[in-house]
Amino acid sequence: MVPSLLLVPFLLVLMQSGALCARRFRGGRNSQPRRSPPPPTHRADRGDTTESFPLDFTAVEENMDNFMTQVKNLAQSLYPCSAQKLDHDMKLNFLVNTSVTCNDGSPAGYVAVHIRAQTRGWYCFNKENCDSRYETMRRFMSSSKWPQTKRGTGILSPLPEENPHWWNANMVFIPYCSSDVWSGVTAKTEQNGYAFMGSLIIQEVVKNLLGKGLDNARVLLLAGSSAGGTGVLLNVDRVAELLEGMGYAGIQVRGLSDSGWFLDNKQYHCTDCVDTIGCTPTETIKRGIKYWGSVVPDRCRQSHEGEEWNCFFGYRVFPSIKSPVFVVQWLFDEAQLTMDNIQLTGQPVQEGQWRYIQNLGIELRNTLKDVPAMFAPACLSHEVITRNYWIDVQVKGTSLPRALHCWDRSLHDSRNNKPPPKACPVHLIDNCPWPHCNPTCPTIRDQFTGQEMSVVQFLMHMGFDVQKMAQQQGMDPSKLLGMLSSGS
The residues annotated with a catalytic role in the active site are 226, 333, 382
Alpha helices in 326-476 (DSSP H): 334-339, 351-368, 400-415, 455-461, 466-473
- Judge contact between 392 and 154, C-beta under 8 A: no
What are the φ/ψ torsions at residue 185 (nearest 5 degrees)? -140, 30
First-to-last alpha carbon distance for the chain, in angstroms, is: 33
d(CA 237, CA 173): 19
**Nearest to residue 262, comparing CAs of 318, 199, 333, 341?**
333
d(CA 192, CA 350): 43
- Judge contact between 239 and 222, C-beta under 8 A: yes
CA quadruple 155, 160, 164, 166: dihedral sign = positive
Burial state string for 92-103 with b = 16 or more CB within 10 A and e = fewer than 16: bbebebeebbbb
Distances (CA, A) of 309 to 119, 130, 271, 297, 474: 22, 20, 20, 11, 46
d(CA 155, CA 152): 8
**Nearest to residue 10, comparing CAs of 197, 156, 149, 136?**
156
Amino acid, res. 117: A
